[in-house]
Structure 1
Amino acid sequence: MRAVRTPALIAAAVALLGACSGTPDQGPSAGPSTSPAARGGAGFGDSAGKPSPTPTKVDVRALSPAELQNRWWSWAGSTETARNPVVDTDGRHCAEGQRDGVWLLAGTFGTTTTRRCTVPADTPILFPVVNSYGTSTNCLTFMDAAQGSAVLDGRNLTVEALGATQIRPERVENGPVAEHRGYENSWACGLWVRLDGLAPGPHEIVFRGSSGDFATGVDYQLTVTDGPLPGPSVTPAALTGA
């Protein structure tokens, strides 16, 4: 992921194809809800980090651009830096903060890496090939140059371009985006991939994305299992948008 015109970069990953529908910059308005009532649904773990046997599935293909991007940015921003899946270099933190029946994958801060992760079978997967947040004008510039691709087990995946959408994600002060002013009320955009759940067994997801001089990529070696997942230390994450 990338935060435009800020000192630090955050890189995520997912598709391309298309340009952002540039909305003029506006002041605060009713953006996605991140209230506790909006978060409902079982997660992959409880507050003690124990796996939940019956996580609530989410129809990832029905998520609006605001819901999708608010969900992902809340996940990325509400996990402290030491355990953050975007900072992660080998996959040991893939399960951090995973909740609500969608498994999220992260990109990088501008590097290419390999991660090995265990994920639940038949659970939808969502990830950005390349994405950004800032003003709607930032997003227009970002999407004009955005490009990327994603491959699952040797098969090209559909990459979806999502233009400037207002979000109000969560974050923690000791997370990798804590210094970015305006994070909780900004505009998000990017190239995204939505996947239905995978069958048990080994799978590989490879994606590469870029915009201008920023580039990111991850080779995900996934082990998809029907059994219980290792118990992550679950952190808060906003789930839905208005």
Structure 2
Amino acid sequence: MRLPSAELQGRWWTWAASEPDATNPVADTDGSACGRNQPHDVWFLAGTFGGQVKRACEVPSGRPIAAPVVNTFGDPQNCEAFMSSAQGTVLLDGKVVEPETYRGESITVQGAQGNPLTGEEGRFAATGCGLWVQLPPLASGKHSLKIRGRSGDFSTGVDYTLTVAASSA
């Protein structure tokens, strides 16, 4: 299942803005928050607020995965400037995965009180943009996912060790 880009971005930003700093998946330094508030039809992974981390995460069998390589939201001008220098690489089990480019689309984000992305509770409209990957469900076992993104002076990187549970038949 592939989500349309505007839906993917709106849902991801809402997911990322659903937790306060202490349990926020973007602020997570080891993967302990990666399972928080996951939707039933896709498994979201997070980048960082800058810098690099290593995370270990258990992913349910049969769930497609979606993650930003580098992303932002704001107004159309913010996105135009951000995307002018956005670049990134993704390696899944050592193989290159080409990120998709989303230049700027209208999204709706729902934030929880005290979240570090929007800072406030409530629903708002914005323009979302970035480089993204959507992966089909992975085979059971351990997988390595390395994400590196950059735009201007901002850079982010995450080395994920993903463990996909064997499906229960």
What TM-score, normalized to structure 2? Answer: 0.94
8 Å CA contact 1:134–1:183 kept in 2: the answer is no
Matches of 1:209 and 1:183 in 2, distance apart?
A: 27
The alpha carbon displacement at 1:155 in A equals 0.3
Partner of 2:149: 209
1:122 aligns with 2:62: yes
CA–CA distance in structure 2, aligned partners of residues 193 and 177 of structure 1: 20
User: Offset of 1:152 from its aligned partner?
Assistant: 0.2
RMSD: 1.7
Residue 213 of structure 1 deviates from its aligned partner by 0.1
**Distance in 1 separating the partners of 2:130 and 2:77:** 13
Structure 2 counterpart SS, 1:85: coil
Q: 1:138 to 1:67 in 2, by over 3 A?
A: same
- What letter is aligned with 1:155? K
1:136-163 per-residue CA deviation (whole Å, 9 max, x = no partner) reads 0110110010000000000000210001
User: Does structure 1 conserve the Cα–Cα contact (< 8 Å) formed by 2:90 and 2:96?
Assistant: yes
Asked if 1:103 corresponds to 2:43, the answer is yes
- Partner residue, 1:234: none
1:21-73 deviations in Å (ceiling 9; x for gaps): xxxxxxxxxxxxxxxxxxxxxxxxxxxxxxxxxxxxxx2x2x22210100100
**CA drift at 1:181:** 10
2:5 equivalent in structure 1:
65
Partner of 2:27: 87
Deviation of the 1:82 alpha carbon: 1.2
One-letter code aligned to 2:22? A
Choose the corresponding residue for 1:113, options 53, 60, 78.
53
Q: How many residues align?
A: 168
Query: One-letter code of the match for 1:132?
Result: T
* Alpha-carbon distance, 1:227 to partner: 5.9
Q: Residue 138 of structure 1: which of 52, 55, 78 is its match?
A: 78
Bigger Rg, which one: 1
Unaligned runs of 5+ in 2: none
| Larger RCO, structure (CA 8 Å, separation 6 or more) | 1
Amino acid at match of 2:25: P
Give the aligned partner of residue 114 of structure 2: 174
Q: Is there any run of 5+ residues in structure 1 with no aligned partner, and where?
A: 1-58, 229-242
**SS of match in other structure, 2:82:** helix
Q: 1:93, 1:227 → 2: CA distance?
A: 22
Identity of aligned residues (%): 47
Task: Return the structure number with greater strand share.
Answer: 2
Q: TM-score, normalised by structure 1?
A: 0.66
- The amino acid across from 2:59 in the alignment is V
